[in-house]
Amino acid sequence: MKHFLTRCSIIICLVLTLAIPVQAAQSYSHLYISISDALMNTKQDKDAEAELALAQFAKDWASVTSEQKEAKEKVDDILAQAREASSKEDRLQALSTLTNALRALEKLENPVDEAAQRAEFGTKFKPIMKAFEDALTSGDIPTIDSAYKDFNTKWKKIERPVREQSIAMYGQIETQMAFIRITLASEEPDVDLMKSQYADLKQTIEDFVAGNDTAEVVEGEYSLSTLIAYIDESINFIEAGNYIAASDKIKDFIKIWPNVEIDISTRNGSLYTKIESDMPILVSDLLKSKVDAKAIRSKLDTFRTEIELVQGSTDYTMWDSALILLREGLEALLIILALVSFLDKSGQKTMRKWIYLGALIGVLLSALAAILMSTIFNSAMVDTNRELMEGYVGLLAAAMMIGVGIWLHSKSSVSSWNRYISKQIGNAISSGSVFAMAAISFLSVFREGAETLVFYAGIAPKMETSKFVLGIVVALLILVIFALVLFKASGKIPIHKLFAVATILIYVLAFKIIGVSLHTLQLRDIVSTTIVDGLPLVSIIGFYPTVETMMGQAVLLVLVGATIAYKKKQK
């Protein structure tokens, strides 16, 4: 056991060492994600989640240093307004202003000449536009299609100045390009219509280069829920056979997409690319003389589920934190009870206080180490690699949790540990060493604390330190009550049943950790995403309707089932 824990500690240290860069340049990308989360949750009337996102922003922002004092103070002031906002409208306004203030700070720290940027963009894009104009003039559809693909690819490479300087102009250009794509993908492409659509697009681009913000602002509050709602309405129209109405609804989706795309592009780049390329094609497919409704419905269902997966990223709750400590704390209590009973039988009741002191120190040091670990995971030092670390460390912790559940907590391991404790306390009593007595108690409890840290490594990256600490406090209070009951009526309590229930709950948490960790890696395209149609997303237990997450969780279920069967066979 000693070697097992040592190896686990070394592995975790190595993971942390590799995940934390020595000197990372200051980046605000994680701050924009927090603002995006707050905006999304505010729009969906999820006040608690919005406040958590703002709290995360505030914690990350506290570690930011800048020589641009005035701009930084402006961000401080607007952040305070966002956190104190009394209405949905006030918070949305404050969050929008916060985004602009943060962007202004970035510009001051990295000054750019916007007029020069626009001119450079125009110079780069001019030959690209000319090539597409020549293709349109030819009237040859394959030539136009090839030119459009080249146009779109090169736009993606140089679009950044437009997006950064004017989200309205950026959105209008994206929408106009999508409508050209819809016309081009139709059953009988109308070249004249494409020329008209391109003329509007060209004018928007020229207006941007000239510094004129002429875009029509898309009014309204939009979120990932809005995208899902538009997909649902389109599916309903398809089922009713009204393909024109379905295509119109997807056009509405395309129009608001630029206002919402950052919520997806920051979390799942491949999904962002697929939606941009495929949605215009679906509009055209719905307007053809022969509509493959089943294929279109399947594509929309997949997009809906994938957007839900982005929207439903799971964090752990206070009770997840409390459960781990309750499970391991219960075992520590039983060890202390065994130590005290041994002293009573040996006529050494006066030594009890040293058992309690050693146990108290073990609990406090374990809790302190857990809080320190959570603080490190949530620090600004790991922002650039946080999601990857969440995924990998979560899977590592789940694997350890399975291993400990199957091996360490087996009957033979517990009995051998108790024999070891009895031997050591017997030696301590014979030598009369108070220090030895306290040390045995401390090591017994801290052993459970070490296991607890291994398990906490899997959930700490996706928890706020405040919730993490609250879970520990709640667990400690419950354990105090358990302790009183155990010491009053230890002989009457079916301890083995308590362990059985607690161990089942630990396996449920391992199930959740595996699902959440694999899902996190899917959002970073480290693990592929294969949607299984018809299955729900149940974030409370970490169940995501993808083949990859279910395969990982199936391995856990097989191992647990095999362990149960093996134990029954032994009996």
Mean pLDDT in residue range 522-527 = 74
Q: Which of 24-38, 117-131, 394-408 has the lowest mean pLDDT?
A: 394-408
* pLDDT for 561: 81
* pLDDT for 12: 38
Mean pLDDT in residue range 441-448 = 65
Q: DSSP letters along 391-403, please?
A: HHHHHHHHHHHHH
CA distance 16 to 308: 31
Angle at 563 between CA 559 and CA 568, to 5 degrees: 150
CA distance 450 to 546: 33
**What percentage of residues in the chain have a pLDDT greater than 90?**
15
What is the identity of the amino acid at 417?
W
* pLDDT for 24: 39
Among 285-294, 342-351, 400-409, 429-438, top mean pLDDT goes to 285-294
For residue 21, name the pLDDT band (cuts at 50, 70, 90): very low
Mean pLDDT in residue range 559-565 = 79
Query: pTM of the entire structure?
Result: 0.52
389 vs 131, higher pLDDT: 131
pLDDT greater than 80 at residue 75: yes
The candidate with the shortest Cα–Cα distance to 101, out of 64, 126, 131, is 64
Q: What is the pLDDT of residues 469-517, one digit of tens each?
A: 788 788 888 878 877 777 676 545 555 565 566 567 667 777 877 887 7
CB 334 within 8 A of CB 479: no
Computed over every residue of the chain, the mean pLDDT equals 75
Count Cβ atoms below 10 Å from residue 72 Cβ, excluding itself.
Answer: 19
* pLDDT for 430: 55
Match 């309204």 to its residue by tokens: 220
DSSP letter at 546 equals: B
* pLDDT for 58: 87
Q: What is the pLDDT of residues 217-255, one digit of tens each?
A: 666 667 788 888 899 999 999 999 999 999 999 998 988
DSSP letter at 385 equals: G
Q: DSSP letters along 460-481, please?
A: GGGS-HHHHHHHHHHHHHHHHH
pLDDT greater than 50 at residue 19: no
Contacting residues for 496 by C-beta, under 8 A, at least 6 apart: none
Q: What is the pLDDT of residues 94-120, one digit of tens each?
A: 888 888 888 888 778 777 678 888 899
* pLDDT for 446: 66
* pLDDT for 422: 60
pLDDT greater than 60 at residue 184: yes
The candidate with the shortest Cα–Cα distance to 201, out of 125, 302, 305, is 125
For residue 326, name the pLDDT band (cuts at 50, 70, 90): confident
For residue 192, name the pLDDT band (cuts at 50, 70, 90): very high
* pLDDT for 237: 93
* pLDDT for 165: 82
Run of H or E including 464: none
The candidate with the shortest Cα–Cα distance to 260, out of 161, 358, 367, 170, is 170
84 vs 338, higher pLDDT: 84
pLDDT greater than 70 at residue 571: no
Mean pLDDT in residue range 405-432 = 53
pLDDT greater than 60 at residue 25: no
* pLDDT for 145: 92
* pLDDT for 440: 63
CB 317 within 8 A of CB 466: no
Mean pLDDT in residue range 29-39 = 78
